[in-house]
Amino acid sequence: MEGRMSVCGRASLGQFSVARARAQSVKRLRSTDAGRTCHTHQSPEEDTFELGQQSEEKKSSGMKRRELFLASAGGLAVLESVMTAEPSEAVQGLTAGRIPGLSAVDKEGFRTYARPEGKSGGHGVGWSEIPTYSFRVPEGWKEEPVSIADLGGTEIDVRFASKDEGQLAIVVAPVLRFMNVGFNADVRIEDIGPPEKVLNGFAPEILGGPVEDDDVLVQTTFTKQPLTYYVWETKKHELITATAFKNRVFIMAVKASGRQWRAAKESLHTMQKSFSVDTSSLSAKAEREKKHKEEEENNTRKKKKLKSVQAIAARSS
């Protein structure tokens, strides 16, 4: 009996403990619900104020998200415009440095470089405007910065290079380096002297040393009206073209290693033959001179006619 009572007593105590725990849990839940009820039951004014606050918070959050989206979209648009923008073709004044001067690729795979109007290259301030010149370069050749440390110094006007095909430099030198003339002289290459004299005049600086007669494989001339061009080819795979116009000497020097020469010999010769200095200013000058002459002749005829009328009037009186 005692054993049974003991077991029953333990069972009763266990049931009591469970019931007590349940009661405490229910009490906590009721307390929580009461707190919630007290919190939510507010005056109409408080309810309106809280709803207004929540509305403003939602609106502010929405505006922030919208502004962030617009800012992100704007940033992406700016980035896209920068990545896809075409190169600038701004016109500059007498400004040292590189200005874009290359055309689109032609059907033969070449681009034409025309010296941009207003470009002063490395010549600095104080030089008169340099006439435009042009030449062709194969697709893939890149313009390189010009340094006064280069051979030729500040007289190098532009440089191009290709890792696989060679390098090119255009030198624009004052005629005074070759002959004693006035600053505004209008000189031609023939006035300076024969090809040998001209070559010896610039070879040490541009080619890195004197050129012996045995080093020259080709020496010839050709004419692109009204200018004459001197042309050379050396054993070291150097192609040179020179001409003179106004008070400057224009020299194109193309160089290649043995490997580059074997790969691009024909293209390098095409570049050499394409070199040309624009002499359209001569036509404009000739047109101005012609117009001036016509005006003078017209004025002379008017004066003669006036004198004839005056003489007739004098006889009649």
Q: What is the pLDDT of residue 101?
A: 77
Angle at CA of residue 220, ends 219 and 226, nearest 5° = 145
Instruction: State the chain's mean pLDDT as an integer.
Output: 73
Q: Check whether 304 has a pLDDT greater than 80.
A: yes
Q: pLDDT-based confidence at 77, cuts 50/70/90?
A: very low
Q: pLDDT-based confidence at 211, cuts 50/70/90?
A: confident
Taking residues 196-221, report their average pLDDT. Answer: 88
Of the ranges 7-11, 103-107, 264-268, which one carries the lowest mean pLDDT score? Answer: 7-11
Q: What is the pLDDT of residue 216?
A: 94
Q: Check whether 255 has a pLDDT greater than 90.
A: yes
Percentage of the residues of the chain whose pLDDT score is greater than 90: 35
More confident residue, 146 or 94: 146
**Which residues neighbour 218 within 8 Å (Cβ) at sequence distance 6 or greater?**
231, 232, 233
Q: What is the pLDDT of residue 114?
A: 93
Taking the C-alpha atoms of residue 224 and residue 227, their distance in angstroms, rounded to an integer, is: 5
Q: What is the pLDDT of residue 9?
A: 42
More confident residue, 186 or 123: 186
Of the ranges 79-93, 165-179, 299-313, which one carries the lowest mean pLDDT score? Answer: 79-93
Q: pLDDT-based confidence at 138, cuts 50/70/90?
A: very high
Q: What is the pLDDT of residue 278?
A: 93
Q: What is the pLDDT of residue 118?
A: 67
More confident residue, 1 or 105: 105
Q: What is the pLDDT of residue 306?
A: 86
Q: What does the pLDDT look like over 195-208, one tens digit per residue?
A: 999 998 888 878 88
Q: What does the pLDDT look like over 42-64, one tens digit per residue?
A: 444 444 444 455 555 554 555 44
